[in-house]
């Protein structure tokens, strides 16, 4: 029993409901898992602090746009905050990447087998996934207060 068989056992009942509604439900499920991984595998307090500090630095950069030396110093600080934020996000990114690639591979095979139908407006499965993923990601991050 390979990955496609395992993934198919989980996803086929959902996708067989209706190609569009099944994909919407899968997209919601994937985004829920990713959001929860980011919430529980990162230090949310540190991320919130970094976000606030970065926002404050950007405000100072606007004020200091004529002072090149000060602007360079603020940009350096902003870059350091970005690196710290990336370090926080790295672990959940690694944890969610492999399952996401497996699901994407299965979805591609599933919808190619259907003749790659246009699901939402004129978009195929990937465009539909991306549109709903953005919407669900924003909503779930706000709901679960993920920074």
* Rounded average pLDDT over 50-78: 88
Share the mean pLDDT of the chain: 90
pLDDT of residue 1: 63
Q: 102-117 pLDDT, tens per residue?
A: 999 999 999 998 887 8
pLDDT of residue 127: 94
Q: 71-113 pLDDT, tens per residue?
A: 888 899 999 999 999 998 899 999 999 889 999 999 999 999 8
CA distances (Å), origin 142, targets 27, 50, 88: 17, 18, 19
Instruction: Give dist(CA 1, CA 11) in Å, integer.
Output: 15
């Amino acid at each position: 029993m390979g990955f496609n068989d395992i993934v198919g056992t989980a996803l086929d009942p959902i996708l067989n409901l209706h190609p569009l509604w099944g994909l919407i439900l899968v997209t919601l499920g994937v985004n829920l898992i990713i959001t929860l991984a980011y919430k529980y595998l990162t230090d949310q307090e540190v991320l919130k602090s970094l976000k606030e500090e970065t926002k404050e630095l950007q405000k100072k950069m606007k004020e200091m746009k004529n002072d090149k030396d000060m602007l360079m110093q603020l940009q350096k600080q902003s870059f350091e905050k970005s690196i710290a934020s990336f370090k926080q996000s790295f672990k959940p990114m690694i944890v969610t990447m492999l399952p996401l690639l497996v699901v994407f591979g299965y979805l591609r095979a599933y919808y190619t087998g259907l003749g790659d139908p246009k699901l939402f407006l004129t978009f195929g499965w990937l465009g539909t996934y991306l549109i709903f993923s953005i919407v669900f990601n924003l909503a779930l991050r706000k709901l679960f207060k993920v920074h």
